Amino acid sequence: MVDQPLLRVRNLTRSFPVQGGFFNRIVNYVRAVDDISFEINGAKTLGLIGESGCGKTTVAKLILRLIEPDSGEVMFDGAHVLDFDAAQLRALRARIQMIYQDPYSSLNPRMKVFDIIAEPLNIHYGHQLSAKEIRHRVVDLVKRVGLHENDLGKYPHMFSGGQRQRIGIARALILQPQLLVLDEPTSALDVSIQAKLLKLLLQLQREMQLTFLFISHDMRVIQLMADDVAVMYLGKIVEYGPIEDVFSNPRHPYTQALLAAMPTPDPGNRLDKLVQLKGEIGDPSNIPAGCPFWPRCPQKIGEICERKPPQLLPVNQTTAVSCHLYHEPGHEDFSPLGKSDEILARR
Amino acid sequence: MVTDSPLLAVRNLQVRFETLRGELQAVNGVDLTIYPGQIVGLIGESGSGKSVTAKSILNVLSTPPGITAGEIWYRERNLLDLSPREMSKIRGQSIAMVSQDPMSSLNPVFTVGEQLRDALLWSEIVQDSTSEPSSWNLIDRFTRAGRRRFRRASAQAVEDLRQVELPAPHQQVKNYPHQLSGGMRQRVLTALAWAGQPDLIIADEPTTALDVTIQAQILMLLQDLVKTRGASILYISHDLGVVAQLCDRVAVMYAGEIVEEADVREIFENPRHPYTEALIRATTMASEDDLVEIPGEVPNMLALPSGCHFWPRCPMMIERCASDTPLLAVVGPNHKSKCAVIHGEWV
């Protein structure tokens, strides 16, 4: 366990302009990520969970600076990522790698598996490593992710979805990164294949001391993989804490609804219990005032929910919730960041 | 319920495709029985033949046309004996289909109201036994009867959208599919499927593309419609969680065959095929131990293993599994399994 978290994100915000009308003027802004703070300790997993359009993938891209944030702070291993120049960024991207959702479009169909996996090595250390050394590293890694050395001469189309995702994992791990950002890595796969891939990821995490930012919409996957969980709704984190606490005792009405809506392979509890929410997921370009969740919230208190945006405030030693239900009006003046920081410091 | 005569009885269904690399047996000897008012789940991973089974019931297999053998009894008629003209009266009127992707199954250049109105018009034209149905009737605004039919269908379209709980149906009929969210599109598709008052709906993974809170709403809607209109559903899915919550009876497919079939409670509490058991554990994912290895991948349908198709991945495999073909045998009340090792036929 390290003293400071490997990744620390503070007040990250990014909105995208919506163009339209005469001369393609900017008519509106989509607040994709709104004031998000979290951190991940070394060799741990943070699960980022939420429904489509809530900004999960934008968070991942912001951390890697594939897109630039409007404001906020990203600290990786004690350094301010947002101040990096091009050379530093390149070095950073060897230490943070990403695994994508779609195993079909994320591999170049015209490259052989060996070239796909060796490409990061060639880019970052091409002039330092001999061809023999590169070959050695690739072969070694390919075996660790459960593929065969003979597969290296094949093309991606010759593999199934699960095997392709293994190629993606090998490509991400070849540079021995510290942080792996996994954006729905198994949601395109069949359950039996998903189970094997998750098992592989857990095993690799233990062996290589990897830190995961694991993005998913599937509560079962998050429950299995994550140590901490952050629940996102329309660009904001609505609940944040250790997985055992949040999943066994969900506090935010949205977290409660998400967990209830998860269909379990247990015929005992029937459908009626699954539905706690009415209406559609909100439109990120037209986020309601006050709490973004109030139009769908089954536990709405009253006018305060429509007027005042709740802050992400601690409810106990480890967990923070952004909901007026848990924060008495007297607490409104607390600096939320200060309190969240305290929580994080204690952990 | 069980005392009624079956609504749909599929007997020994075989579907083969001629491919450049040889003949592919996509569905091999499938038996399926659906009673009125029943929701039957057909589970399987990709490539197991569940969608091909569904499509061959409606005879809507696209290219290449499969070679279909066996019997598909709908009430007193074998659908495989019907002429194309007779079959087109069955489709949508007696048996309707809801497909997986709500975007590509709606026509992007017509409003949802127009599409639903046309489905309702067509249904009325087909059911009107006085004349042979023709497309002319669809665009007939020139006769008084045509105009009356048109107005009636337009009003009914709004009413049907209200029934599937689409918010503000009066406005939504004027919207194009791209203006609706995924969940709303799926509601429109559901309304379209019910337009012809069918007594069987084949739902091919209708919630796969949806978020979990929306999925819960759609499942609830399907269940309510079954209760209020007394129809049956053949629900095709790869998600055991959804099937456990929704269905009365479950059939598990592997490599083109049904390997286990039982009532929902029975199959989840007492699975009698190693494949079903592994699937259930891979879906539960309560702990890392649940990620049981089903070694290998879904088999190549062009080169199926001899004997029981599951043996190369099976933890209970004995020598005979690779040579002899097991039969679907009764292992309990209303419970059939194709594992000869489990039902004790082979020792």
The mean pLDDT value of chain A amounts to 88
Q: Note whether B228 contacts A: Cβ–Cβ < 8 A.
A: no
User: pLDDT tens digits, residue range B138-158?
Assistant: 777 888 888 888 899 999 999
pLDDT band with cut points at 50, 70 and 90 for residue A3: low
CB contact under 8 A, B214 and A274: no
- pLDDT reported for residue B293: 67
Q: Which of B45, B219, B288 sits opposite A271 (nearest CB)?
A: B219
- Does residue B292 sit within a domain? yes
Specify whether B196 is located in the same domain as B316: no
- pLDDT reported for residue A92: 92
How far CA B148 is from CA of B114, B121, B232, in Å, comes to 16, 11, 32
Distance CA A268, CA A286 (A): 39
User: pLDDT tens digits, residue range B2-61?
Assistant: 457 899 999 999 998 888 888 888 899 999 999 999 999 999 988 889 989 998 998 888
Please name the amino acid found at residue A218.
Answer: D
How is residue A179 written in tokens? 């942080």
- Does residue B120 sit within a domain? yes
Answer whether residue A111 shows pLDDT above 70: yes
User: pLDDT tens digits, residue range B206-217?
Assistant: 888 788 888 888
Of A31-40, A89-98, A270-279, B226-235, minimum mean pLDDT range:
A270-279
Of A14-23, A137-146, A297-306, B157-166, minimum mean pLDDT range:
A14-23
Mutation target among B51, B205, B213, B259 for the A interface, most CBs of A within 10 A: B213
Q: CB–CB of A231/A240 below 8 Å? A: yes
Q: Which of B215, B268, B291 sits opposite A261 (nearest CB)?
A: B215
Of chain A, the end-to-end C-alpha distance in Å amounts to 11
Instruction: Please give the average per-residue pLDDT across B254-271, as a whole number.
Output: 94
pLDDT band with cut points at 50, 70 and 90 for residue A336: very low
Q: Which of A195, A196, A265 sits opposite B240 (nearest CB)?
A: A265
User: pLDDT tens digits, residue range A287-307?
Assistant: 888 999 999 999 888 889 999
Least Cα separation, residue A265 to chain B (angstroms)? 4
Contacts of A224 in chain B (CB under 8 A): 285-288, 291
Whole-number percent of chain B with pLDDT over 90: 42
Q: Which of B234, B253, B272 is the last residue of a domain?
A: B253
- pLDDT reported for residue B64: 62
- Does residue B343 sit within a domain? no
Backbone phi, psi, residue A207, to 5°: -70, -40
Answer whether residue A1 shows pLDDT above 60: no
CB contact under 8 A, B212 and A266: no
Instruction: Please give the average per-residue pLDDT across B113-117, as a whole number.
Output: 94
Answer whether residue A54 shows pLDDT above 90: no
- Does residue A2 sit within a domain? no
Answer whether residue B94 shows pLDDT above 90: yes
- Does residue A37 sit within a domain? yes
Length of chain A in terms of residues written: 347
pLDDT band with cut points at 50, 70 and 90 for residue B315: confident
Specify whether B41 is located in the same domain as B188: yes
CB contact under 8 A, B212 and A198: no
How many domains does chain B divide into? 2
Reference B68, options A150, B77, B76, B78; nearest CA is: B78
Q: Which of B244, B288, B294 sits opposite A266 (nearest CB)?
A: B244
- Does residue A1 sit within a domain? no
Higher pLDDT, A198 or A285: A198
ipTM above 0.85, yes or no: no
Least Cα separation, residue B265 to chain A (angstroms)? 6
- pLDDT reported for residue A344: 53
Instruction: Please give the average per-residue pLDDT across A233-242, as a whole number.
Output: 94
pLDDT band with cut points at 50, 70 and 90 for residue A332: very low
- Does residue B3 sit within a domain? no
Answer whether residue A337 shows pLDDT above 90: no
Specify whether B265 is located in the same domain as B200: no
Task: Write the DSSP symbol of residue B344.
Answer: T
**Domain, as residue range, for A49:** 7-346
Among residues 22-51 of chain B, which lie with CB inside 8 Å of chain A? Answer: 45-46
Answer whether residue A40 shows pLDDT above 80: yes
Least Cα separation, residue A184 to chain B (angstroms)? 13
Q: Which of B283, B288, B293 sits opposite A191 (nearest CB)?
A: B283
Specify whether B240 is located in the same domain as B259: no
- Does residue A31 sit within a domain? yes
Contacts of A199 in chain B (CB under 8 A): 288, 291, 293
Q: Which of B228, B253, B278 is the last residue of a domain?
A: B253
Answer whether residue A108 shows pLDDT above 70: yes
**Domain, as residue range, for B260:** 255-337
**Spatial strand order in the sheet of B249-254:** B95-98, B200-204, B232-237, B39-43, B249-254, B257-263, B335-337, B329-332
Q: Note whether B61 contacts A: Cβ–Cβ < 8 A.
A: no
Mutation target among B285, B294, B313 for the A interface, most CBs of A within 10 A: B285
